[in-house]
Structure 1
Amino acid sequence: MVSSGLTIPFSFEQGVEVDELERFAFWDSPDVVKWFKDHGYTLYKRSVYRGEELATFPIFPPDPQSGPVEADFPYAHHDMDTMEIPEEYQTDPPLSGVDTSGKILYAQDSLKRHVVIKLVPDNTDEYRVLRFLSEQSMDTLKENCVIPVLDLLPIEGFWLAVMPRLRASLIG
């Protein structure tokens, strides 16, 4: 595995107590945000919203010169002019993501498509399955109703698995 210069500073072992705030502070740090930007991903910004300090919300749209985009398979449809938004969210941020583990990130790629990024330890069965899926054709994955792995970004001791985000809200 080629190292990318990004190093995870927190423990990832099962059974070890997790400091979510430490993890969130790391993911939200300017250096990490820039690292993702350099790799084509704009992370959702974490903010306190209705008492939900673990929630993240997209920069929607990240480019103020253009509006939301429709996306083809395997990406979800997030055109806010045509998407049915539940009434309680019509004036609130239309997309949100909550992760209490500090292992999941939400982002938009360079074409403003919404993705989920998961931190996966290297040399694990989970990584090997994700690697296998990333090597399959989009047609094969679609035919078998499998969510594709769009990208695997190497970092020291881990991989960041990028997959399409498929729901408008992960809350509720």
Structure 2
Amino acid sequence: MDPDLKSLFFTINPDDPFVFDIQGRLDFWNNNRAFFAETHGLSLYELALHQHHPSLLTCWPSQYPNSGGSYPYAHCEDIRQHTEWKYGKPFSTSTMGLVVYANDQEKRPVALKLVEHESNEHTVLKLIIDVQNRDGYIPGIVPVLSLVAVAGHWAVVMPRWSCSPVHGWFCSVKELLFCLEELLSGLVFLHSHRVVHRDLSRQNCLANLVLTNVNNVQSDNPANWMQNLQASHSVRYGWIDFGWAVVLPPLTALESCRLHCKQAHYGAWDPPPDVALGERTYNPFAFDVGTLGLYLACFTQHLTPQIPLLAPFLDKMITRNVASRFTAQSALDFLRFIQQTLTEEELKEPCPHPGYKEQDSYMYDRWSALPRHFVQEWQHMREPAPSKLVRLGWRLAEMSSWFRGVLAFCQRGLDWVRGVHHDVSST
């Protein structure tokens, strides 16, 4: 086995994180096929350099996985449902080589990811295994099957879950809210163990489903395969990828924890503006909640006329007043309150697809179509739209490092005048 996995897999080029030795990664996996097959019963999928993307590998099974899906393993689409797709073979996917796929001895699909020894990710994975062994599988977290020692580091083996929760949309209000409950439950688990995810993006929350190809499910077709499985309440949702996670001491206070602003913005695609105007420190747990809130808003905020309580729920997840933002637990509690207020008939109703037009969640009016008495009752949770001046500041800070420096200098001056001092946790 290659003894230098650190440079091959775990050393990131600060100038361009997408520059790495893809051929070396391909060789590593191919050279260790026999090891994984003989010692762990895992048949690695075929691997080849991607024809059109020099930093990717193409990965596909030589034998199709079983279509059954006994939890924690995924439901695999029956190969007979496959429609030809010119960009890949059935069940194929692309990877940067850190993650590859395999079938176990029962032809159930699994994923393998190289993890650095004693890294934060390794710590989180060991925690998940310990809790699973004691309490069973964790809602909202993709299960961990095993950790395999590899050349001084580890390969984590997990069931292959591969669909975004919204890929085929939802068959009912009940299933949509269940998805939100699962994702929040996973975040509650992490935060309760003082783990900050820092990469709550759509790519890192999955459903226990594997398609023959990504175009084989039409989200606007209510009879699609995913919605049929949802109708029998067979779909589960969970978070993966703790490569950017931070593990803080067990007694760290969720409400007052501070990290340096440079620790923000690691993987989140659409983060809250907690450090957008030169703030020196931020609360990483609140930042996680805001990031998740913005992700949930992008596919649920259009539903507030149908589910009015989503308006205060989303506003309290993404509010710019960080001190009053929901914690993960309080967001989960409020979501369960929403579920309890809906009748069985309301829960069974279909919910319209959000469409594909991106909406700025801080400018989108989630309250405009709601009854006046409802707005008055929940006004205390409503998030005001940011002023033009604030939005201009965000825009300038995004475009200009010089302007960000000026804002940071001004923030430090204001903190000094007000006598504000934040103790920054070490990571």
Tell me, yes or no, whether TM beats 0.5: yes
Provide the rounded CA distance (Å) in 1 between the counterparts of 2:119 and 2:50.
35
- Aligned position for 1:3: none
Number of aligned positions between the proteins: 156
Which runs of no fewer than 5 residues in structure 2 stay unpaired?
163-209, 216-427
Checking the alignment, whether the CA contact within 8 Å between 1:47 and 1:57 is kept in structure 2 is: no
The equivalent residue for 1:64 is none
Q: What letter corresponds to residue 112 of structure 2 in structure 1?
A: I
1:9-158 map, 5 Å:
9-10=4-5, 11=7, 12-15=10-13, 18-29=20-31, 32-38=32-38, 39-47=40-48, 51=52, 54-61=57-64, 68-78=66-76, 80=78, 84-85=81-82, 87-89=83-85, 93-100=89-96, 102-137=97-132, 140-142=136-138, 144-158=139-153
- Spell out, residue by residue over 1:95-154, the C-alpha distance to the aligned partner (whole angstroms, 9 max, x if none): 012112x21111111111101100000011110100111122376434x22111101001
Question: Structure 1 residues 8, 104: closer, same or farther in 2, change over 3 A?
Answer: farther
Cα 1:156/1:25, change in 2 over 3 Å: closer
Report the Cα offset of residue 48 of structure 1. Answer: 6.3
Q: Residue 28 of structure 1: CA displacement?
A: 1.5
Q: CA deviation at 1:77?
A: 1.4
Secondary structure, aligned partner of 1:127: helix
Counterpart CA distance in 2 for 1:49 and 1:157 is 29
TM-score by length of 2: 0.33
Distance 2:143 2:153 in 1: 19
* Counterpart secondary structure, 1:75: coil
Identity %: 28
Q: 2 CA distance for matches of 1:121 and 1:55?
A: 23
Structure 1 or 2: more helix by fraction:
2
Q: Deviations over 1:61-101 (max 9, x none)?
A: 4xxxxx8341211111125257x54x3449x622012112x
- Note closer, same or farther for the CA distance 1:77–1:43 as it changes in structure 2 (3 Å cut): same
SS in 1 for 2:37: helix
- Residue ranges of structure 1 left out of the alignment (5+ in a row): 1-5, 62-66
In the TM superposition, what is the alpha-carbon distance from 1:49 to its structure 2 partner?
7.5
Q: Classify 1:14/1:76 alpha carbon distance in 2 versus 1 (closer, same or farther; 3 Å).
A: same
- Residues 22, 8 of structure 1: alpha-carbon distance in 2 compared, 3 angstrom cutoff: same
CA contact 2:45–2:59 (8 Å) conserved in 1? yes
**Is the contact made by 1:130 and 1:149 (CA closer than 8 Å) also made in structure 2?**
yes
Relative distance call for 1:24 and 1:48 in structure 2 (3 A) is closer
Partner Cα distance (1:48, 1:24) in 2: 8
More strand per residue: 1
Look up the equivalent residue of 1:121 and give its one-letter code: E
Cα distance between partner residues in 2 of 1:155 and 1:111 = 23
Aligned counterparts, 1:153-168, within 5 A: 153-167=148-162, 168=210
| Alpha-carbon spacing, 1:140–1:77, altered in 2? closer, same or farther (3 Å) | same
- How far has the Cα of 1:7 moved from its partner? 3.6
RMSD: 3.0
Greater relative CO, 1 or 2 (CA 8 Å, sep 6+): 1
Q: TM-score, normalised by structure 1?
A: 0.75
